[in-house]
Structure 1
């Protein structure tokens, strides 16, 4: 039996991450695309994702969300599941903090993360869920203007 997989067909482009014309039948997705619905945004952090990942010695993974590549670090601290992420093409440079949907106390979860990072609440740029609109978001002094 031959289990060698042949190379791509002539004319195939890289598997698309969006709905572009391409004869390749594969559609590239990411783990983040599949699991992001299990999390909800609760806050933003002024420190970069690289700085946060460096502090906690995390590995970030590259995925896609809607029309932008996204870098994500998935962690658990003291029983709280976090997704820390940043969309590459977003004008917002904050590290977005999401918690798994079953998290009961968002404020306690934020405090757990801040404690592990060794920083205080002054590093928060917003609290609330950006996906629900500005009426649900509290912008804080550390927020930077969008470019």
Structure 2
């Protein structure tokens, strides 16, 4: 069977992972992280670096991208709970974002399990999503 000839891209097409403003590429590419992140919800931030947290659990960090730019992330499971840790490159906020599966109803228990596995306490949490009014910065008010 002969191999099919595939023509090159059309002149003027934008790169697939970028905003399509001019002569549109028929494909719009999202990163694996963007697809995976839709099944998680952001619940907190942690002060230790992503490298240190990943090393503790011997996780691989994967590189993807999102609207804000390149992102490093590690997705994993502990006690049947799906977690992700992420850090957007160039973000002035140094926090590592903690994501928990949308299927997980008890976020507090999930955070306790994660912190226990990481060997750190709640003092490492820099912000929380309280669900009602949004995110609360805990650096200035650790009781929140």
Structure 1 residue 113 displacement after superposition: 0.6
Structure with the bigger percentage of helix:
1
The residue number in structure 2 matching 1:2 is 2
User: 2:33 aligned with 1:32, yes or no?
Assistant: yes
The residue number in structure 1 matching 2:17 is 17
The residue number in structure 1 matching 2:136 is 138
Name stretches of at least 5 consecutive residues in structure 2 with no aligned partner.
Answer: none
Shifted more, 30-39 versus 6-15: the winner is 6-15
The residue number in structure 2 matching 1:102 is 103
| CA pair 107-5 structure 1, distance change in 2 beyond 3 A | farther
The residue number in structure 2 matching 1:63 is 64
Asked if 1 retains the 8 angstrom alpha-carbon contact of 2:72 and 2:86, the reply is: yes
Superposition RMSD on alpha carbons, in Å? 2.7
Separation of aligned partners in 1, 2:140 and 2:118? 16
Equivalent residue pairs, number: 140
Separation of aligned partners in 1, 2:5 and 2:99? 39
The residue number in structure 2 matching 1:42 is 43
Separation of aligned partners in 2, 1:52 and 1:4? 47
Taking the TM superposition and a 5 Å limit, the aligned residue runs for 1:116-127 are 116-127=117-128
Name stretches of at least 5 consecutive residues in structure 1 with no aligned partner.
Answer: none
Separation of aligned partners in 2, 1:13 and 1:47? 41
Shifted more, 115-124 versus 1-10: the winner is 1-10
| CA pair 28-124 structure 1, distance change in 2 beyond 3 A | same
Separation of aligned partners in 1, 2:29 and 2:64? 10
Structure 1 residue 8 displacement after superposition: 4.6
User: 2:52 aligned with 1:51, yes or no?
Assistant: yes
Shifted more, 46-55 versus 7-16: the winner is 7-16
The residue number in structure 2 matching 1:87 is 88
| CA pair 27-101 structure 1, distance change in 2 beyond 3 A | same
Shift >4 Å, 4+ stretches: 4-14, 20-26
